[in-house]
Amino acid sequence: MKEFDLIGRYFSNGGYKRKDVIIGIGDDCAVTKVPENQQLAVTTDTLVGGVHFLSDAPAKSVAYKTVAVNLSDLAAMGAEPAWISLSLSLPEVKEDWLAEFVDGLYELTQYYSVQLIGGDTVKGPMSMTITAQGFIPPGSELTRSGANPGDWVYVTGTLGDAGAGLDILQNTLEVKGEARDVLINRHYFPTPRVAVGTALRRIATSCIDISDGLLSDLNHILTASGCGANIHVDRLPLSRAITSAVDNDTAIEYALSAGDDYELIFTVSEEQKGNLETSLASTNVKATCIGQLSGHSSNLSLFKGEKPYTPKRDKGYEHNF
């Protein structure tokens, strides 16, 4: 299949259509309109086959995750997503695979009212690069650097499920029944916490999404904000699926170090703590307080009950070059 036939058949006419897209797919550039009194947030992520997703992963899950990880970055900034561009590299065109990929792409963009406005297709090793753009009211963006000693540390949802799901798929963890399906789906289909991100504007002092593991990503906040933290591992939110699949200590290790959960870690001051529950009420997402920031710069201390806790791994995923 020729490049422009591929674009015309699969990408030109499908998906959600927004009124703020003046020119979409088909010209040298897309032309869009940023609403008045809004800032533009932009993020780019690349997913490479065999690195960010398994080579035999379902095409729908590959597309879903490709979009979700970018929307998760926007959510961590408090941005409302609007547009994405996709650069797609494929070693060959398998039409069944590509049709399933497009279904997954459009399912998620439809749900979040996001329009695909352009990109590129090339022949090469399998990879997908998305640039996602969204809107933030001036002065309400969330960053990693705004936290202060005394702020409370929260996480959304449950942790460790995606990492356990990956181990199941790689045959290093044996789980049967419903828990197996739940954990695998959490790996294949992460949920970007967009509604939570917008709800945290002007309430959270800092925020980041969990892509590389709780310890790794929390350390980004501590480094940027010049704070330390005391985290209680027995407060980490764990799903029924993971606690039925592994023992408690193993579940805690997954929650601390496994990546790909795409939940949010955020900090809230004592003064705003009372407003948090009200702000999150409409999102239907639970946030759990797991500790508090300290004045000891970048010092992350873990506790289980009253005793210090030493994790088996002190950091999450990191690329080696």
Res. 247: pLDDT tops 70: yes
pLDDT band per the 50, 70, 90 thresholds, residue 4:
low
Averaged pLDDT score across all residues of the chain? 92
pLDDT band per the 50, 70, 90 thresholds, residue 16:
confident
Task: Determine whether the annotation assigns residue 243 to a binding site.
Answer: no
Closest by CA position to 145, among listed 227, 36, 29, 242:
227
Lowest-confidence range among 19-28, 59-68, 210-219, 257-266?
A: 19-28
Task: Determine whether the annotation assigns residue 44 to a binding site.
Answer: yes
Task: Determine whether the annotation assigns residue 291 to a binding site.
Answer: no
Q: Which helix (H) or strand (E) holds 88?
A: strand 80-90
Do 105 and 25 form a contact (C-beta atoms < 8 A)? Answer: no
Do 302 and 231 form a contact (C-beta atoms < 8 A)? Answer: yes
Task: Determine whether the annotation assigns residue 73 to a binding site.
Answer: yes
Q: What is the pLDDT of residue 319?
A: 46
Closest by CA position to 212, among listed 104, 73, 312, 112:
73
Q: How far apart are CA 211 and CA 84, in angstroms?
A: 19
Q: What is the pLDDT of residue 296?
A: 77
User: 188-202 burial, b for 16+ CB within 10 Å, e for fewer?
Assistant: bbbbbbbbbbbbbbe
Lowest-confidence range among 136-145, 274-283, 286-295?
A: 274-283
pLDDT band per the 50, 70, 90 thresholds, residue 7:
low
Helices (H), the chain: 3-10, 59-76, 95-111, 161-169, 178-188, 194-199, 214-225, 240-245, 248-257, 273-280
Lowest-confidence range among 49-53, 102-106, 138-142, 230-234?
A: 49-53
Using CA atoms of 303, 281, 210, 150 in order, give the dihedral in degrees to the nearest 10: -40
- In sequence order, the β-bridge partners of residue 265 are 155, 208
Domains of the chain: 3-136 (3.30.1330.10), 152-308 (3.90.650.10)
**Is the four-CA dihedral 304, 307, 313, 319 of positive or negative sign?**
positive
Q: How far apart are CA 18 and CA 34, in angstroms?
A: 12
Task: Determine whether the annotation assigns residue 296 to a binding site.
Answer: no
Residue type, 252: I
Res. 112: pLDDT tops 80: yes
Task: Determine whether the annotation assigns residue 89 to a binding site.
Answer: no
Do 12 and 25 form a contact (C-beta atoms < 8 A)? Answer: yes
Task: Determine whether the annotation assigns residue 151 to a binding site.
Answer: no
For 152-169, how does the pLDDT look when each residue is reduced to its tens digit (9 = 90+)?
A: 999 999 999 999 999 999
Task: Determine whether the annotation assigns residue 213 to a binding site.
Answer: no
